[in-house]
Amino acid sequence: EDQVTQSPEALRLQEGESSSLNCSYTVSGLRGLFWYRQDPGKGPEFLFTLYSAGEEKEKERLKATLTKKESFLHITAPKPEDSATYLCAVGSYGGATNKLIFGTGTLLAVQP
């Protein structure tokens, strides 16, 4: 069965303190791994798609990487506005088209 596990559940950082969020996955065949950001009271907002091991994507202070078993979302010198819940999702060739499996998210709090 396809599964996605995110860790840690919550992370508190000081402004400027870099860290990483983890997304471990088990799928029959990875079609794509997706990162989303979700602010309180809002819907998830798309950040990145990664398709193959070794691939990396960057956006401002965020960098997503992918291996055959997990993905990391690296946050460099975070600012308070980076505070949000970060969601990971995977699509697999074993599953039906367009059905993504989501992790439970990492709640990130960046303190000034």
Partner 1 sequence: DAGITQSPRHKVTETGTPVTLRCHQTENHRYMYWYRQDPGHGLRLIHYSYGVKDTDKGEVSDGYSVSRSKTEDFLLTLESATSSQTSVYFCATSGVTTNEKLFFGSGTQLSVL
Which of 19, 32, 55, 74 is the binder for partner 1 (CB under 8 A)?
Answer: 32
CB of 34 to partner 1, least distance (A): 7
What is the residue-wise DSSP string for the chain?
Answer: --EEEEE-SEEEEETT--EEEEEEEE-SSEEEEEEEEE-TTS--EEEEEE-STT-EEEETTEEEEE-SSEEEEEE-S--GGG-EEEEEEEEETTS-TT--EE---EEEEEE-
Candidate list 26, 49, 76, 83; residue touching partner 1; CB under 8 A: 49
What residues are paired with 12 via a beta bridge?
Answer: 109
The one among 87, 92, 108, 110 contacting partner 1 by CB under 8 A: 87
User: CB of 6: closest distance to partner 1 in angstroms?
Assistant: 8
- Residues in binding contact with partner 1, number by CB under 8 A: 23
Whichever of 76 and 102 has its CB closer to partner 1, that residue is 102
Q: Which residues bind partner 1 (CB under 8 A)?
A: 4, 31-32, 34, 41-46, 49, 87, 89, 91, 96-100, 102-105
